[in-house]
């Protein structure tokens, strides 16, 4: 910064700006360890004596199926007992909302306006009214998000710059946007291409930082001055879903087009990633009609490739498969620890113990198991997969518990050095790329297609709380209000003292979702993955460590973009606590669908693994927990074990002497005295 002017705050806060024209921008295991698969318990014992279940369904406005079977959902895990966990590029944002017409807005004194030309620009700032096409058949469209910043000085400055949260608060002519008065009318201007969101900015006039004098929307910059605020909404979509009908194995859907003309050659369609010509045009409407779909889950994608930018619709069609999540047994597959289907992508990190290193499991290995009928034979209806994005190439220094006994606390346990890798998928680096040890994006698509052909849904393990410090996000935005700063490690300040702002480790940068730019970036990335591969839901990691604003935005986005045919894009969260009220706090119509039912897990382990309580006690306690959940208790996921705790079978076989939730002590047992394989335990 030049002179004594205070530097504006980096954090962007969401504020609405009512301007003359609102700009909108559209860019928008090694070998499988079959011996340790945890199968569900007998349904005849009690309706809650299973790994994962849902007792009711939501009722979306356009529910495809009316079936309401009284069945349960189960989960099966296949991971190690001692699992160690401790530049997203812009992706297409697919907003479905329709923006209001601002054509009557006054243009007097406008300093931030949409770029337009003499042919006329639609009032939404996105398109030509004329909608003419050139010789290539492409529609003639003015790009959205071209914002003209204007400043009319009272003196004769030598230089006027534009600096804001969109360019890292650049302060010199080499990095900031340079305004000019080319026509000599006394108004300095510069055009910028901005993405949807809330942006803060200032003008730098001959080294002096000033707010936009003609923009009433502003926010305290923390230094006695103000930053001007500009909010940009998304551009209307090229196609809008008007209606759809699913009958048996057929789908008919109709789309409307916007003010500008969409050329037929700009629209294409795929069915399960294969090109399809089952579309037609009439009176400005796009109609798709698909017949004879095979039993399974089908992904119908409609692409618009005009100059507005790529526009993608994803329609889910279930044929011969219930859309009710209660009918699904969910099987957790930790990708790296399942099946090695392609040894060519194996790349363990040198000098790391095999227990904490990449083991070779990959997308192809999972796909092979799907195609072999393995999951179908188990009655599996959904697969929960590791977050597929790139992990660190190397290892991180850590510790492993080097003590024995029960009731070991973190302050009394002795630890020894140990290196860890990101084999588990919870250390995101570049979330525009798959983890190469897992496989390619195409191989992940093949996996999902194979699962869908068997009527099996796919959940992705969405790691939203943090990114690894090697991530382009952290490298490029660590000083721009994207992360909770200064870094405070949860172990140092207390996991429950600052659950939202503390960092899991010193190298896992905690995202600050009070910043709307961070919400937009994270959700755009996550739903890009969901649409690309055809995922059917998310398992949301570490929910209690994430701002509620993000949780609500996630549900809104899922509803708008992934539930177009009335099938729920199921989002189940993880809040590791025995407090049912804390779990319930994140569940609701405007939040996530459900969470894993840890309080019920405790009772199931006490009753069936340790035989510490009887069925009557178990029934009473679980009913009490469900009463706290109210109506949303129907969606909660009951389970008997997961990858953060000792296995059910290890408790039931007597291999562990400590309590069911004595996590640290059971971890030490995993290192010092690993439980035997179930096949070697008499009576099992």
Q: How far apart are CA 164 and CA 166, in angstroms?
A: 5
pLDDT at residue 116 in the model: 30
Q: How far apart are CA 582 and CA 496, in angstroms?
A: 12
Q: Which residues contact 452 (CB under 8 A, 6 or more apart)?
A: 272, 296, 297, 298, 299, 458, 534
Q: What is the pLDDT of residues 380-397, one digit of tens each?
A: 999 999 999 999 999 999
Which one has a higher pLDDT value, 26 or 410?
Answer: 410
Q: What is the pLDDT of residues 639-664, one digit of tens each?
A: 888 898 999 999 998 889 899 989 88
DSSP class of 245: E
Phi-psi region of 284 (alpha: psi -120 to 50; beta: other; left: phi over 0): left
Nearest to 52 by CA among 69, 71, 75: 75
What is the DSSP code string of 21-53? S--EE-----S--GGG--PPPPTTT-TT-SSS-
For residues 82-102, average pLDDT: 27
- Reduce the DSSP state of residue 216 to 3 states and report it: coil
Q: Which two tokens stand for residue 181?
A: 């008065």
The domain 240-319 is placed in CATH, from the list 2.60.40.2450, 2.60.290.11, 3.40.50.1970, 3.20.20.140, at: 2.60.40.2450
For the chain, domain boundaries: 1-28+100-234, 240-319, 472-510
Q: Which residues contact 364 (CB under 8 A, 6 or more apart)?
A: 341, 342, 439, 443, 446, 447
Q: What is the pLDDT of residues 460-475, one digit of tens each?
A: 999 999 999 999 999 9
Per CATH, domain 1-28+100-234 is 2.60.40.10? yes
For residues 550-554, average pLDDT: 96
Q: How far apart are CA 607 and CA 65, in angstroms?
A: 37
Q: Is the dihedral of CA 478, 480, 481, 486 positive or negative?
A: positive
- Same CATH topology for 1-28+100-234 and 240-319: the answer is yes
For residues 36-56, average pLDDT: 29
pLDDT band for position 156 (cuts 50, 70, 90): very high
Q: What is the pLDDT of residues 497-519, one digit of tens each?
A: 999 999 999 999 999 999 988 99
Find the DSSP H helices in 102-200: none
């Amino acid at each position: 910064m030049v002179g004594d002017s205070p530097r504006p705050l980096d954090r962007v806060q969401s504020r609405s700006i009512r301007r003359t024209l609102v700009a909108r921008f559209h860019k928008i295991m090694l070998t499988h360890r079959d011996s340790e698969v945890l199968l569900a318990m007998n349904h005849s014992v009690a309706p809650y004596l299973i790994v994962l279940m849902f007792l009711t369904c939501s009722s979306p406005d356009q529910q495809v199926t009316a079936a309401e079977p009284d069945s349960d959902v189960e989960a099966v895990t296949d991971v190690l007992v001692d699992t160690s966990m401790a530049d997203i590029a812009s992706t297409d944002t697919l907003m479905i909302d329709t923006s209001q017409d601002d054509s009557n807005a006054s243009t007097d004194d406008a300093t931030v306006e949409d770029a337009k030309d003499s042919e006329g620009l639609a009032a939404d700032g996105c398109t030509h009214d004329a909608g003419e096409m050139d010789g290539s058949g492409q529609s003639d469209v003015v790009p959205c998000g071209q914002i003209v910043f204007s400043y009319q000085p009272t003196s004769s400055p030598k230089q006027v710059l534009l600096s804001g949260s969109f360019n890292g608060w650049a302060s010199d002519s080499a990095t900031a946007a340079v305004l000019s008065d080319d026509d000599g009318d006394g108004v300095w201007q510069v055009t910028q291409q901005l993405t949807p969101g809330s942006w803060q900015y200032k003008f730098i006039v001959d080294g002096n930082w000033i707010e936009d004098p003609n923009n009433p929307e502003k926010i305290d910059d923390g230094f006695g001055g103000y930053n001007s605020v500009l909010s940009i909404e998304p551009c209307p979509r090229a196609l809008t879903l008007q209606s759809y009908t699913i009958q048996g194995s057929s789908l008919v859907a109709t789309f409307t087009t916007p003010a500008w003309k969409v050329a037929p050659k700009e629209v294409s369609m795929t069915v399960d990633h294969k090109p399809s010509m089952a579309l037609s045009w009439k009176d400005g409407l796009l109609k798709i009609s698909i017949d004879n779909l095979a039993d399974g889950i089908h992904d119908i994608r409609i692409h618009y490739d005009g100059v507005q930018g790529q526009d993608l619709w994803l329609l889910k069609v279930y044929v011969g498969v219930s859309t009710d999540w209660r009918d699904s047994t969910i099987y957790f597959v930790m990708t790296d620890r399942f099946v090695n289907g392609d040894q060519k992508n194996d790349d363990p990190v040198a000098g790391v113990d095999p227990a904490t290193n990449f083991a070779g499991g990959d997308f192809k290995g999972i796909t092979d198991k799907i195609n072999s009928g393995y999951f179908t034979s188990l009655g599996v209806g959904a697969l929960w997969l590791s977050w597929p994005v790139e992990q660190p190439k190397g290892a991180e220094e850590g510790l492993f518990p080097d003590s024995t006994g029960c009731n070991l606390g973190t302050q009394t346990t002795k630890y020894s050095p140990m290196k860890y890798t990101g084999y588990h998928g919870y250390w995101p680096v570049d979330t525009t790329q798959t983890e190469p040890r897992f496989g390619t994006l195409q191989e992940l698509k093949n996996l999902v297609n194979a699962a869908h052909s068997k009527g099996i849904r796919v959940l992705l393990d969405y790691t939203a709380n943090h990114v690894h410090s090697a991530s382009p996000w952290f490298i490029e935005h660590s000083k721009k209000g994207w992360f909770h700063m200064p870094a405070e490690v949860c172990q140092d300040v207390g996991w429950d003292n600052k659950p939202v702002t503390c960092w899991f480790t010193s190298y896992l940068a905690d995202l600050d979702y009070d910043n709307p730019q961070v919400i937009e970036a994270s959700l755009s990335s996550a739903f890009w993955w969901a649409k690309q591969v055809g995922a059917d839901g998310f398992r949301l990691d570490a929910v209690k460590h994430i701002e509620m604003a993000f949780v609500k935005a996630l549900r809104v986005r899922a509803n708008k973009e992934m539930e177009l045919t009335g099938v729920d894009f199921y989002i189940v969260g993880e809040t590791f606590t025995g407090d049912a009220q804390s779990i319930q706090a994140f569940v609701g119509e405007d939040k996530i669908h459900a969470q894993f039912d840890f309080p019920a897990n405790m009772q199931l382990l006490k009753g069936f693994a340790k035989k510490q309580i009887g069925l009557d006690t178990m029934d009473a306690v679980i009913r009490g927990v469900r009463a706290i959940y109210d109506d949303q208790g129907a969606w909660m996921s009951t389970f008997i074990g997961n990858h953060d705790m000792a296995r059910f079978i290890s408790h039931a076989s007597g291999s562990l002497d400590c309590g069911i939730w004595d996590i640290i002590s059971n971890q030490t047992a995993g290192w010092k005295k690993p439980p035997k394989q179930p096949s070697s335990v008499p009576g099992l």
